[in-house]
Amino acid sequence: MALIVQKYGGTSVGSIERIANVARRIKSWHDQGHRLCVIVSAMSGVTDQLISQAKQLNPHPNDREMDSLLSTGEQVTISLLAIALHAIGVPAESFTGARAGILTDGTHTKARIRNISPERVLASLQNGNVGIIAGFQGQNDEGYITTLGRGGSDLSAIAMAAALKADVCQIYTDVDGVYTTDPRIVPTAKKIPVLSYDEMLEMASLGSKVMQARSVEFAKKFNVPFEVRSSLTETEGTLVKSETPDMESVVVRGVSLDRKQAKITITGVPDKPGFASRLFRALADAAINVDMIVQNISAAGVTDISFTVGSDELDKARRAAQPVITTLGATGMLAQEGIAKLSIVGIGMKSHSGVAAKMFESLAAAGVNIQMISTSEIKVSVIIEESLADQAVRAVHDAFGLSA
Ligand code: ADP
Ligand code: ASP
Ligand code: MG
């Protein structure tokens, strides 16, 4: 008999029939005598719809109110799932993030978990209930509801698994594992049986939205192995765990694509100390994640700085950068949407050469221009035009022989 944490994502609970299906699956584990703590997302599309409704009323909605709004999606699902379980004779109790003891910092819309006090959940499991916890949400010191960033139910699940010292953590979704690339773009992509935390972390950070990046970071930090599986089939999924020596034999494990990228270029920057520090401090203070940064060589005492941000933060980034530009006297700011980041990931890159060259050759052959490049020990990323992204992914995926 094990303590099992399961997480069901938006599609898996996307309709009344799907919720009933999840309830039946939970029942079969419960009938085997396991203790179950289940984390659920909002029904698919609900979070997006709430964001769009808020933005129709106010293009710059207050982050605290957004958290209060967005957390409602998950609360619908926990109650419906508990009701569905009661209907088939399974005792179950639903918990908001706050009641489950999930305490976060105060960074509304992307709060970090500080501490979990799982006593109430444990007591409920002890009484024979299935505990059903609203993913994506917590509360801060002052009792305000916070949310954990898009896709944050993954983080709720991993963090609960750590806090409860669960024996198993299963992430149920609409694919039966992590693939060499998004199977919606390349139908011949292969399922990866085992991945290291670092590879999963890079893939997730680089746009493979099958797992939220911060949840993988948490799993790595607290060593919480987890399995990504399908909520519709019984097939074995992908196990994500700490690195083992044999994992290095594969050079490129996967190809990731992030379409939600935007580029800002500051032109005519005075070429003297202090501009970059002021600019990136202003962006950091506005809690904006800056990704790639390129500064070109200055010709006549001025230079250009380009950087990328998530497209949903473009507006915020422009507003944070504007005062620095005005004060320090750069000439202007250009914002570009319609770009994407394509990356290859694999821990085997540490010990192989020529990997980047091969990637660039395959992009050239596919007629895809590279706008920016960045590398780390286990990844190579390029910024390309979004409209060419799918064909670029296929070309790179083929070049590294990743198809089934
Ligand atoms: P959930 O609602 O269950 O959290 P998501 O939509 O967040 O599910 O994540 C699952 C989706 O991730 C899949 O439908 C798939 O299109 C996408 N995806 C992107 N990259 C990959 C990958 N490398 N392997 C598997 N799925 C991927
Ligand atoms: N409902 C939230 C979102 O859509 C959290 C999640 O699904 O994990 O981002
Ligand atoms: Mg998700």
| Number of domains composing the chain | 1
Residue 210, in any domain of the structure? no
For ligand 2, whether the C-beta of 136 sits within 6 Å is: yes
Residue 76, in any domain of the structure? yes
Closest C-alpha among 330, 227, 220 to residue 282:
330
Q: In which element (H, E) is residue 332 found?
A: strand 332-345
- For residue 190, give the ligand nearest its CA: 1
Cα 41 to Cα 10: distance, rounded to the nearest angstrom: 5
Residue 150, in any domain of the structure? yes
Cα 77 to Cα 13: distance, rounded to the nearest angstrom: 7
Contact 119, 101 (CB under 8 A): yes
The 10s digit of each residue's pLDDT in 34-89 is 999 999 999 999 999 999 999 999 999 999 999 999 999 999 999 999 999 999 99
| CA 174 / ligand 3 centre spacing (Å) | 9
* pLDDT tens across the length of the chain (404 residues): 899 999 999 999 999 999 999 999 999 999 999 999 999 999 999 999 999 999 999 999 999 999 999 999 999 999 999 999 999 999 999 999 999 999 999 999 999 999 999 999 999 999 999 999 999 999 999 999 999 999 999 999 999 999 999 999 999 999 999 999 999 999 999 999 999 999 999 999 999 989 999 999 999 999 999 999 999 999 999 999 998 877 777 889 999 999 999 999 999 998 888 889 999 999 999 989 999 999 887 767 889 999 999 998 999 999 999 999 999 889 999 999 999 999 999 988 888 889 999 999 999 999 999 999 999 999 999 999 999 999 999 999 999 999 87
Sign of CA dihedral 156, 159, 160, 166: positive
Q: In which element (H, E) is residue 52 found?
A: helix 46-57
Q: What is the CATH number of the domain that holds 93?
A: 3.40.1160.10
- The protein residue whose alpha carbon is closest to atom 17 in ligand 1 is 210
Q: In which element (H, E) is residue 365 found?
A: helix 355-365
Q: What domain range is 11 assigned to? A: 3-174
Residue 392, in any domain of the structure? no
Residue 89, in any domain of the structure? yes
Residue 35, in any domain of the structure? yes
Residue 79, in any domain of the structure? yes
| CA 208 / ligand 3 centre spacing (Å) | 10
Residue 58, in any domain of the structure? yes
- The protein residue whose alpha carbon is closest to atom 25 in ligand 1 is 178
Greatest Cα pair distance in the chain: 76
